[in-house]
Homo-oligomer: A and B are copies of this chain.
């Protein structure tokens, strides 16, 4: 039993490396990407996407020109367009791979853990923090670009963010039903969780300076949430609005 949970928990690490991400992007977009050879294509795509994340996280994707990107990635202007049809398509490529990847990993919980709302919540926190650590540039990029972007791409971003919040809201609702959490508005509670998780990757420097380990951070967030959600036999709070 435990071995299954560990296998599940450990399995995502290989899937979220830049190489693995880019291999999937290359496959998924094989109709628009004009380069046929995967050995050439995946490697170059990785250079392009790495540079996009690096420059985008510094100045913002919008403010990054394709000439900058060409210089930083070492891929000529023309070659860039063998990998995407437009600048917006490049953004869509990145977000379109990143967001479903995160969601699929957060959804992939063992039935054993899932059966206990408190354990499930703790697992979600742990997994999310470790995932954001492993995919730091992607998380920062997605956060920075989620707003203020072409209606289509922006819609996906907002949608997926809502989905992630929904995963947390579901666990909380289940916990309330099972009597382990006492909280009136699960959606509001889920809204409260998100920034706690975001703090780890948005203020990475702060925690590095303080010498805070991942384990300590996860423990602190889990504990703070345990209080905030009024675990176990605490009284029910009043209902929001009505």
Contacts and interface: CB of A to CB of B under 8 A. Distances in A.
B241 A62 contact: no
A35 interface: no
A2 interface: no
Interface residues of A, number: 39
B241 A211 contact: yes
Copies of this chain, complex-wide, total 2
Interface in A182-235: 183-185, 188-189, 191-192, 194-196, 199, 207, 210-213, 216-217, 219-220, 223-224, 227-228, 230, 234
A227 B220 contact: no
Interface of A: 59-60, 62-63, 144, 147-149, 183-185, 188-189, 191-192, 194-196, 199, 207, 210-213, 216-217, 219-220, 223-224, 227-228, 230, 234, 237-238, 240-242
